Structure formats: C-alpha cells, structure tokens
Amino acid sequence: MGKQIGIIYGSTTGNTERAAELIAERLGSRAVLHNIADQGLDGIADYCVCIFGIPTWDYGELQEDWEEFWEELKCQNLKGTPCALFGLGDQIGYGEWFLDAMGLLHDVLRDGGAKIYGQWPVDGYVFEASKALTDDGCFFVGLALDDDVQQGETQERVDRWLLQLQPLFEL
C-alpha cells in the first residue's frame, strides 16, 4: 500500500464515520477509509500511519464492530507503526465512562508495540472519569470528540489535532 494513511474505524450511529471522513478529507489522497464492519482488520499493518477511531458505548463499552475484532486486533503486528487515536463519547450523559473505549484501544496498541502519537488536552471538557487519560490526567491518549454535546467543536479540534500530527504524515 506504500505511503497510505489508514483511518481504521467502527461506527454504529455514524458519528465516528463522519469524523473519519472529515479526517480523510483533510489529509487528502493518501488517506484510506477502513471501516472494520466491511473490511475487518485485514491489511491495517500495511499502512505507513494508522489512525484509529472508536466510539464508547453505554457504560464504557466497545462499539460492536470493535468488539467483534478485539481479539484479532491483539494479534496484529503494529510494532513500531506510528498510530494516533480519536474517540467519540458523550461527556454529559456518560461522564463516568467518557471515551473509555479509546483508552482500552490505546492500551492494546501500546502493548502490541505501536508508537502512539496525538495526545489531546482535557481543557474544555466536563466529565467524571475516563480510561482514556494519560497518567498525569492532563491529556487524553487521543483526540476527544463529543458530537452529542460539542458538535460545533469537532472541525476545529480535528484541524488542530492533524496539525499536531503533521510530522507523521511526512514519512
């Protein structure tokens, strides 16, 4: 696949898919949308950079497509692969579990040897707890999006995050 950037995501309601499409649009022709519901995880190790998108469901649970491929994900060879994550959640309705699935995904990727980039500050969010926080609690392990409460912030946040990740795309 050469120098393609894989945007690997699962989406039930369409919010994560819309965010993936926005990221792909911003990145241009090198970006490849990879919906795991249709494509599974085949070929993700071939991307030069992987951007993973995952929503948190209910009380900190994985979205159904991610849940289906979770064990297979643990077997993917992403050692040394530059990876970034974006997560979607509802900080008001599910504030005790805000972006937990992104935190779980981060841990699987990190444990598999992936190089994770793209931490995002917690400023501007109101939530009770999250498994997606860095150890110091000042950052999320990836881009935090909330299309339920802060939909108007999504485009600007995506743009700022991609600017931060720009060095990865020059590989």
Domain boundaries, the chain: 5-170
- pLDDT grade, residue 139 (50/70/90)? very high
Q: At what angle do helices 100-111 and 64-73 cross, to 10 degrees?
A: 20
Task: Give the pLDDT score at 33.
Answer: 98
pTM of the model: 0.96
The pLDDT tens digits of the residues spanning 64-101 come to 999 999 999 999 999 999 999 999 999 999 999 999 99
Sequence-separated (6 or more) residues with CB below 8 Å from residue 77:
45, 112
Flag whether pLDDT at 111 surpasses 60.
Answer: yes
pLDDT of residue 171: 64
Count of alpha carbons within 13 angstroms of residue 6, beta-carbon side: 25
One-letter amino acid identity for 52? F
Which of the listed CATH numbers 3.30.930.10, 3.40.50.1950, 3.90.950.20, 3.40.50.360 matches domain 5-170?
A: 3.40.50.360
